Structure 1
Amino acid sequence: MNNIDASAHYEVEATGQTPSLLTLIIDTNPRAWAALDGSLPFSKAVANILVFVNAHLAFGNDNQVAILAAHSNRAVWLYPPPPGRHARHGSSSGGDRDGDVEMAGANGQNGDSARQGAASSANKYPQFASIEASIVSSLRSLVSETAASSLPATTLVAGALTTALAYIHKTSLAYAPPKQSSDPANPTTAATVTATQTPTLHARILAISVSDSEPAQYIATMNAVFAASHARIPIDTLSLSPHASPTFLQQAAFITGGAYLSCAANPSGLLSYLMFGFLPDAEARTHLVTPSQDSIDFRAACFCHRKVIDTGFVCSICLSIFCEVPEGSECLTCGTKLALGKYGAKPVVVVRKKKKKKRINGLTGREETGSATGTPAPT
């Protein structure tokens, strides 16, 4: 047939859209939200976040979302809810015949309430209603279990980042292509294994922060950030509070190639920042102009007193950071004897000798020019 119409025919394979996984970390520190209640109540913020999540899921049928709460002392799954406590130790009493277990919320209850909430609204898309019911139920349980007497002022961001990376890795394994064994006798098989493969899942992390970065979590946070950078998972950060600055999350956005925005000047515009700044995934951002950071806070936390410092001392062996010289000039991490050289010595000030001016014919002239003529005086 090609010889008759003299045209080339090609078989085009239909390729589907690459799934996109959005892992959302919400800072639920009660003290920070209480300071922000006048401009952005927590209930309104959750409503705006739900609209953003629904918009992400509406972009593609294969898009997924996972939501974590970074609380004061722990990281809690909001969606999908974690398995029930009865499923531990391999117990199958609460599961189905095939080994599946019932999903539970933050309080350990099963997912019956979430399903009832999703079925109660006939005007909502079932998946949207299920996510909304799960988030609201888990947040209510989280607030009810939080005691004001034992409430720390910190936020466990490092634990939430580590949990999010573990979930992304587990989800990516489900989308990974099957491994093919390389056979030396068959060169085509080896070529197939070494060929470049397109990514099967676009994953990213979005952290909504309302509190300061905790210096005690500096090491754990940086470990999670470098792991995300190695896995090519961008970490986006949106800062809401004008009273706090997430220093470490700002560095995380820069290191992993994510976006950092601050709506501290207008927290009520949370939905606009989410929709226009963080809705495109990693693939779509290659065709767009993403928000950039004007200034980046690269300050680190010292290993001795756990405080953010501008200048300090770094061990040349283990790269530990100290705000002051350790006792005995010995590294507190690896025990290496540090050589400080002449640190602390006063600089030597050399007095410059004044050059004498030559006197020629009783007049003072400049030695540099060699002129014997002085400055003319008025007559």
Structure 2
Amino acid sequence: MNAIDGSSHVEVNATGQTPSLLTIVIDTNPRGWAALKDTLPFSKAIANILVFINAHLAFGNDNQVAVLAAHSNKAVWLYPKSPHSDREPNGSTDGDVEMKDVDDDKDRGNANKYPQFSAIESSILSSLQSLIKSTLPSTLPPTTLIAGALSQSLSHIHKTSLSFAPPKASTDPAAPSTAVTLTPSQPTLHARILIVSVSDSEPSQYIPTMNAVFAASHARIPIDTLSLSQHCSPTFLQQAAVITGGVFLSAALNPRGLLTYLMFGLLADAEARNSVTLPTQDSVDFRAACFCHRKVVDTGFVCSICLSIFCEVPQGAECLTCGTKLALGSYGANPAVVPRKKKKRKKALNGVMDRDASGSAAGTPVPG
């Protein structure tokens, strides 16, 4: 049939686009945003992030997004909302589901907006307002719970990837086989994490942060970071970008260009990054935090069993993590200087130096 009209027909199989899940972690530390209020207010930053989210969703119908707030003392879901957000203030539920009128103007949204964009914007803004109202300045720690937000992000990504996984093959030999066999080059979901940071890395969170980073690296989930503050340096997030193959950008010199950094440097997903040149870091701070005092150190003592890091020798030279007796040897002692042995020169026989003593193949001629 292909030769009827004298042309060659080729069957083309339509392949769907692989869904992409973008998980955004927004650092909502009030102290960090207070330092940026003159250059980049928090409201403008959220508006730019919403535009970035809409651009990600517009790339494909199957693309998804999740947004978390890494607050000073907790990690809160902004979108999708956590089921615990429907609890009453005393922490209990009455068992009834709140019914809302579909004709309510508040839930109807703007008719000129795409419904999904409007739903995400409404959820993020309402959750942020609730978070800000529940924040008390008297009990506000200076830290940011990045480690908890990373753990929740990885859990959400794993749960979402299970929904996109192909059905398992049936163990019944009589049943028809409907399972789809995928090769490692055909992922079912492209997932990545983006952290918008305005605070410094907390040394006390070094261990849980690195645990989450190594878990993301094992799952091939890149962690991108956009730092906005010039007074803070997210040291651990720089290491996270290198370990997971992500991107680290610093917008400290021009925080007002937040949307430009997001659109041109962080919009490409894992599949598109194979065809583009990503920004690179000039220098990376690979310092670690000690396990004893939780402070970032340049040099320290490392346990050979559990690889725990200490800024000084623990009491009794015993590892505080696994209890192993640390053998320090002669650490700190001055190196011993061994004197060099002098070679004895042999006496000349009949006016001619010995060949071994002179170092030459033939004897030294003697003047007549």
**Which TM-score band (shorter chain)?**
0.7 to 0.9
1:297/1:182 CA distance change after superposition, 3 Å: farther
Q: For residue 111 of structure 2, what is the aligned residue in structure 1?
A: 122
Distance 1:142 1:29 in 2: 11
- How far apart are residue 196 of structure 1 and its match? 4.7
- Given that residues 183 and 190 in structure 1 are in contact (C-alpha distance below 8 angstroms), is that contact kept between their aligned partners in structure 2? no
Q: For residue 273 of structure 1, what is the aligned residue in structure 2?
A: 261
Q: Given the alignment of the two structures, is residue 167 of structure 1 paired with residue 156 of structure 2, yes or no?
A: yes
AA matched with 1:268: R
- How far apart are residue 313 of structure 1 and its match? 0.6
- How far apart are residue 6 of structure 1 and its match? 7.8
- Where does 1:19-34 land on structure 2 (aligned, <5 Å)? 19-34=19-34
Q: Given the alignment of the two structures, is residue 38 of structure 1 paired with residue 38 of structure 2, yes or no?
A: yes
**Secondary structure of 2:334's aligned partner:** coil
TM-score (norm 1): 0.82
- How far apart are residue 94 of structure 1 and its match? 3.2
AA matched with 1:218: Y
Distance 1:302 1:170 in 2: 33
TM-score (norm 2): 0.84
Distance 1:279 1:139 in 2: 24
Q: For residue 301 of structure 2, what is the aligned residue in structure 1?
A: 313
Report which stretch shifted further, 162-171 or 123-132.
Answer: 123-132
1:229/1:266 CA distance change after superposition, 3 Å: same
Give the alignment partner of residue 245 of structure 2, picking from 246, 252, 257.
Answer: 257
Q: Given the alignment of the two structures, is residue 147 of structure 1 paired with residue 150 of structure 2, yes or no?
A: no
**Secondary structure of 1:36's aligned partner:** coil
Distance 2:163 2:50 in 1: 26
Q: For residue 79 of structure 1, what is the aligned residue in structure 2?
A: 79
**Secondary structure of 2:119's aligned partner:** helix
Distance 2:312 2:177 in 1: 58
1:351/1:112 CA distance change after superposition, 3 Å: farther
- Given that residues 317 and 327 in structure 2 are in contact (C-alpha distance below 8 angstroms), is that contact kept between their aligned partners in structure 1? yes
- Where does 1:122-271 land on structure 2 (aligned, <5 Å)? 122-181=111-170, 193=181, 195-196=183-184, 198-271=186-259
Q: For residue 295 of structure 1, what is the aligned residue in structure 2?
A: 283
**Secondary structure of 1:31's aligned partner:** helix
RMSD: 3.1
- Given that residues 75 and 159 in structure 1 are in contact (C-alpha distance below 8 angstroms), is that contact kept between their aligned partners in structure 2? yes
1:293/1:54 CA distance change after superposition, 3 Å: same
1:85/1:348 CA distance change after superposition, 3 Å: same
AA matched with 1:64: Q
AA matched with 2:200: D
Distance 1:122 1:210 in 2: 35
Distance 2:94 2:6 in 1: 65
- How far apart are residue 191 of structure 1 and its match? 11
- Given that residues 25 and 206 in structure 1 are in contact (C-alpha distance below 8 angstroms), is that contact kept between their aligned partners in structure 2? yes
Distance 2:162 2:92 in 1: 22
Q: For residue 314 of structure 2, what is the aligned residue in structure 1?
A: 326
Distance 1:196 1:158 in 2: 29
- How far apart are residue 12 of structure 1 and its match? 2.4
Distance 2:193 2:249 in 1: 14
1:116/1:173 CA distance change after superposition, 3 Å: farther
Give the alignment partner of residue 96 of structure 2, picking from 94, 97, 103.
Answer: 94
- Given that residues 169 and 179 in structure 2 are in contact (C-alpha distance below 8 angstroms), is that contact kept between their aligned partners in structure 1? no
1:259/1:85 CA distance change after superposition, 3 Å: same
1:112/1:56 CA distance change after superposition, 3 Å: farther
Structure 1 gap segments, 5+ residues each:
96-101, 103-109, 356-366, 368-379
Distance 1:120 1:147 in 2: 31
Distance 1:262 1:111 in 2: 43
**Secondary structure of 1:286's aligned partner:** helix
**Secondary structure of 2:78's aligned partner:** strand
1:353/1:195 CA distance change after superposition, 3 Å: closer
- How far apart are residue 264 of structure 1 and its match? 0.5
- Given that residues 75 and 145 in structure 2 are in contact (C-alpha distance below 8 angstroms), is that contact kept between their aligned partners in structure 1? yes
Distance 1:151 1:323 in 2: 29
1:350/1:269 CA distance change after superposition, 3 Å: same
Q: Given the alignment of the two structures, is residue 286 of structure 1 paired with residue 274 of structure 2, yes or no?
A: yes
Give the alignment partner of residue 335 of structure 1, picking from 323, 331, 334.
Answer: 323
Q: For residue 362 of structure 1, what is the aligned residue in structure 2?
A: none
1:160/1:116 CA distance change after superposition, 3 Å: farther
Task: Encode CA deviations 1:335-354: one digit per residue, 9 max, x unaligned.
Answer: 11111111010223467899
**Secondary structure of 1:311's aligned partner:** coil
AA matched with 1:338: L
**Secondary structure of 1:149's aligned partner:** helix
Distance 1:145 1:200 in 2: 39
1:8/1:79 CA distance change after superposition, 3 Å: same
